[in-house]
C-alpha cells in the first residue's frame, strides 16, 4: 500500500483513550480534524500528526497525552500497511 495507507479516527482515539477516556478522545480528534479542514474518519500520516499537534496545544494532561501520541503515529502507519 505504501503512501496510500491511512489511519482511521478510531486508531487515533485509541492513542488518547487511556489518558482522557473514549468520549473525550473522540471529541478532541473530531474537533481538531474539523478545525484543520480534514475529514472525520481517515487520515494520512501527516494529517494524523497535525491533528495530534493541534490537540497537544491544550494545557495539562490532554496536551501531554497528545504530544506523546504523536510519536506513535509512524508505528500506526506501519501496522495499517501490513
Rounded to whole angstroms, how far apart are CA atoms 74 and 81? 11
Supply the pLDDT for residue 1.
Answer: 38
In this structure, how many other beta carbons lie within 10 angstroms of the beta carbon of residue 17? 16
**Cβ atoms of 73 and 48 closer than 8 Å:** yes
pTM: 0.89
Domain segments of the chain as ranges: 2-81
Q: Which of 20, 11, 10, 16 has its CA nearest to residue 74?
A: 11
- Which tens digit of pLDDT belongs to each residue from 18-59? 999 999 999 999 999 999 999 889 999 999 999 999 999 999
Q: What are phi and psi of 8, to 5 degrees?
A: -80, 150
Amino acid at each position: 500500500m505504501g503512501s496510500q495507507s491511512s489511519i482511521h479516527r478510531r486508531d487515533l482515539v485509541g492513542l488518547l483513550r487511556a489518558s482522557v477516556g473514549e468520549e473525550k478522545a473522540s471529541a478532541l480528534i473530531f474537533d481538531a480534524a474539523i478545525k484543520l479542514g480534514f475529514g472525520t474518519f481517515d487520515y494520512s500520516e501527516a494529517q494524523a500528526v497535525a491533528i495530534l499537534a493541534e490537540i497537544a496545544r491544550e494545557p495539562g494532561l490532554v496536551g501531554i497525552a497528545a504530544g506523546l501520541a504523536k510519536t506513535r503515529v509512524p508505528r500506526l502507519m506501519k501496522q495499517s500497511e501490513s
